[in-house]
């Protein structure tokens, strides 16, 4: 995901909006206000159509958010960490720190999303029954939201990874075969086939004169195909990383610097003479922290000679560290989830090495080149 805006925090989960969401929100509002409501109620004014279109779009995306919150709540209940939920062009996505480690976790996390959408659809249907004879606009709004939430549930139950239905399929295959990689491959292949069907359907619609609708369906198919392919590659990558340890990936060729070194000395004596972008800070053999190029760049040039490394470093207490026996998947999770570029490898409070993202990527690249 690109940079997004945080709009709320629910149950410790950041709720974000990706810039692309503005496009789909405007498109849904325009479709409702310009086509859906006017065709059903031609006597309505343009202002009423637009008011109802915007409100309906907001409630629809609130329903999408509730769908993702359902996934997140079950994930947290099962002990997983959920960092954020982001609304974007094609709906929403919950960023869960790690993939489920058991088929049952995968199944319940996946199935609760569509079930929540069906439940929301039923609630709006009940409201529609109560208000349809009282207010025509409210009746139209609730009827649309009842239908669209059921459609959302059915769409997400398509049995192709990484859709919710694909994850349910993967969980069942995983339980049956005991092999996560095989289950993911089958579910991912199913997802790619379904994606191609979407693309073919979109092409048919274009030739039938429904150009905009056809392009949109082709785009959805392309997105599903890409997500299915990437999802399988990620699982394969994580399975490969389970076989290696941090001690196999780390670099022992590192140099520590004292905390009383000035930033200007660090630049002149280390950064410009070495290719490293991060340096461990240690005094008398004890790790104090780590300083990265980003920390150095934050110091104005005129203050670099008087600012010490110890003032700008990330202290040891705030560092993410791993042990030599931690597997590569845990290393990668620490690097990506915490958004850090390097990790000290510690054993008995002593630094054994330093591990960068490039070390993990290099290992994966070599294995790919060797066909391992």
CA distances to 174, 181, 268 from 101, rounded to whole Å, are 11, 12, 47
CA distances to 176, 204, 360 from 239, rounded to whole Å, are 19, 40, 13
CB atoms within 10 A of CB 156: 20
Say whether 68 is catalytic.
Answer: yes
Which residues lie closer than 8 Å to 304 by C-beta, 6 or more apart? 262, 263, 264, 267, 296
| Gap between the Cα atoms of 64 and 149, Å rounded | 8
Q: How many helices (H) and strands (E) in the chain?
A: 14, 10
Full DSSP string of 283-313: ETTEEEEEEEHHHHHTS-GGGTTT-BHHHHS
112-139 core/surface letters (b: 16 or more CB in 10 A; e: else): bbbebbbebbeebbebbeebeeeeebeb
| Gap between the Cα atoms of 15 and 218, Å rounded | 29
Instruction: Find the helix or strand (DSSP H, E) in which 173 lies.
Output: helix 164-177
- Which two three-digit tokens encode residue 22? 């503005």
| Gap between the Cα atoms of 17 and 27, Å rounded | 16
Q: Which residues are catalytic?
A: 68
């Amino acid at each position: 995901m690109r940079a997004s805006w945080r709009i709320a925090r629910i149950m410790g989960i950041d709720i974000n909006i990706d810039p692309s969401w503005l496009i789909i929100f405007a498109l849904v509002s325009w479709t409702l206000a310009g086509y859906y409501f006017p065709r059903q109620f031609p006597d309505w004014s343009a202002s009423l159509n637009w008011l109802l279109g915007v409100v309906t779009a907001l409630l629809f995306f609130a329903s999408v958010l509730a769908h993702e919150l359902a996934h997140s709540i079950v994930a947290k209940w099962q002990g997983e960490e959920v960092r954020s939920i982001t609304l974007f062009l094609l709906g929403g996505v919950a960023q869960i720190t790690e993939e489920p480690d058991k088929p049952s976790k995968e199944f319940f996390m996946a199935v609760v999303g569509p079930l929540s959408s069906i439940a929301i659809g039923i609630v709006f249907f009940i409201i529609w029954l109560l208000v349809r004879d009282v207010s025509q606009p409210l009746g139209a709004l609730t009827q649309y939201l009842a239908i669209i939430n059921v459609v959302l549930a059915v769409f997400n139950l398509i049995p192709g990874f990484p859709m919710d239905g694909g994850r349910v399929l993967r969980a069942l295959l995983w339980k049956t075969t005991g092999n996560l990689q095989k289950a993911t491959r089958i579910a991912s292949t199913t997802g790619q086939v379904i994606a191609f069907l979407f693309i073919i359907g979109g092409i048919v619609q274009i030739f039938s004169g429904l150009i905009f609708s056809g392009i949109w369906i082709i785009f959805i198919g392309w997105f599903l195909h890409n997500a299915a392919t990437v999802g399988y590659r990620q699982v394969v990558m994580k399975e490969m990383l389970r076989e290696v340890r941090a001690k196999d990936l780390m670099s022992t060729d590192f140099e520590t610097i004292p905390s009383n070194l000035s930033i200007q000395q660090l630049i002149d004596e280390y950064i410009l003479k070495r290719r490293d972008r991060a340096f461990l800070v240690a005094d008398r053999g004890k790790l104090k922290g780590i300083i990265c190029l980003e920390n150095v760049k934050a110091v104005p040039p005129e203050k670099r000679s008087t600012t010490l490394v110890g003032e700008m470093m990330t202290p040891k207490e705030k560092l993410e560290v791993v042990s030599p026996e931690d597997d590569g998947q845990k290393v990668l999770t620490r690097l990506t989830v915490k958004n850090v570029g390097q990790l000290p490898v510690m054993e008995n409070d002593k630094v054994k090495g330093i591990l960068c993202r490039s070390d993990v990527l290099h290992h994966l690249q070599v294995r790919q080149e060797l066909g391992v």
